[in-house]
């Protein structure tokens, strides 16, 4: 497939879909503090067949719950709100996984998430 496609010349002055206003913002409730917020400002936790996991992509299938990206909300959520929202009981493994994630969160401010990987434990065998 190395064909040259003729680029169609569009009439000037037409901008496709430029000033569209997205009025509908999906909202979710934080299971920690019960505040209703825009979905993208919350972290999704999803119940999978193999346990409860943090879903940073927000796209995993399964029953989901939403929590602020701050520790106080996670602490509260882990005390009961989360299990309740997911209609499941958190196993010890779930709890460990969630607490590990929680420990990477800021103390008490809703800052935007960074895509940083806290553990880069790549082993390089150098002979």
- Contact positions vs Zn ion (CB under 5 A): 30, 32-33, 68, 73
Closest distance of CB 33 from Zn ion, Å: 3
Judge contact between 76 and 39, C-beta under 8 A.
no
Closest distance of CB 101 from Zn ion, Å: 15
- Indicate the residue among 33 and 60 with the shorter CB distance to Zn ion: 33
- Indicate the residue among 33 and 53 with the shorter CB distance to Zn ion: 33
b/e map of 61-77 (b: 16 or more CB within 10 Å)?
Answer: eeeebbbbbbbebbebb
- Indicate the residue among 40 and 93 with the shorter CB distance to Zn ion: 40
Closest distance of CB 66 from Zn ion, Å: 9
Q: What is the dihedral of CA 62, 66, 70, 74, to 10 degrees?
A: -70
């Amino acid at each position: 497939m190395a064909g040259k496609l003729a680029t169609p010349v569009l009439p000037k002055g037409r901008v496709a879909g430029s000033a569209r206003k997205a009025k509908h913002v999906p909202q979710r409730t934080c299971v920690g503090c019960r505040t209703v917020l825009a979905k993208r400002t919350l972290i999704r936790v999803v119940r999978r067949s193999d346990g409860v996991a943090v879903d940073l992509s927000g796209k995993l299938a399964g029953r989901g719950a939403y929590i602020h990206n701050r520790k106080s909300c996670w602490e509260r959520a882990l005390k009961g709100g989360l299990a309740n929202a997911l209609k499941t009981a958190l196993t010890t493994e779930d709890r460990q996984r969630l607490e590990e994630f929680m420990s990477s969160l800021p103390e008490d401010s809703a800052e935007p998430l960074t895509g940083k990987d806290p553990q880069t434990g790549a082993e390089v065998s150098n002979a």
